[in-house]
Amino acid sequence: MAKKPPPMILLVDDDPLIRVLGRELLEHLGYRVETAGDGSEALRKFQGMERVDLVVLDYYLPGQNGCEVLREFKILDKRARVLVASGFLSSQDMASLKEEGALGLINKPYRLTDLQHRIKAVLRGRSGF
């Protein structure tokens, strides 16, 4: 029987350093990782990928905010699992993200252990804000 491939994560952040370090850290934890620097690139990559188990989406992106990008992910695949990363969100922004289907929030700057726990929780079907 063929071994199931590790989960695929699409890491979306406009900061190149976060994309590079995030990829390295997530790959070190055993995940497969693709990165994107903005919402448009993320949506293109998402459409072209066979499988995305989780999107880690920075809320503040050039051109679109995380809620707008999340909405477009859900149009492409209503089952898309999205974890939003942000240093600060208003209660209104958080309510909008929940309404659009985000599965959780990780506060930036995040530690590797925090990211690891949030990803595992979302992949196991648990959400949280």
Identify the DSSP state of 60. Answer: B
Digit-coded pLDDT (tens) for 115-127:
999 999 999 988 7
In a domain, 10, yes or no: no
How many domains is the chain built from? 1
Is residue 3 in a domain?
no
CATH number of residue 91's parent domain: 3.40.50.2300
Q: Cα(97)–Cα(101) distance, rounded to whole angstroms?
A: 6
Question: Is residue 52 in some structural domain?
Answer: yes
Specify if 14 maps to a domain.
Answer: no
pLDDT in tens, 69-91: 999 999 999 999 999 999 889 99
Residue 70 lies in a domain: yes
Residue 1 counted as domain residue: no
Residue 53 lies in a domain: yes
Mean pLDDT value of segment 16-29: 96
pLDDT of residue 55: 98
Would 76 be classed as within a structural domain? yes
- The pLDDT value recorded for residue 3 is 85
User: Residue 78's domain spans which residues?
Assistant: 39-122
Q: Partners of 35 in the beta sheet? A: 11
The tens digit of pLDDT for each residue in 24-73 reads: 999 999 999 999 999 999 999 999 999 999 999 999 999 999 999 999 99
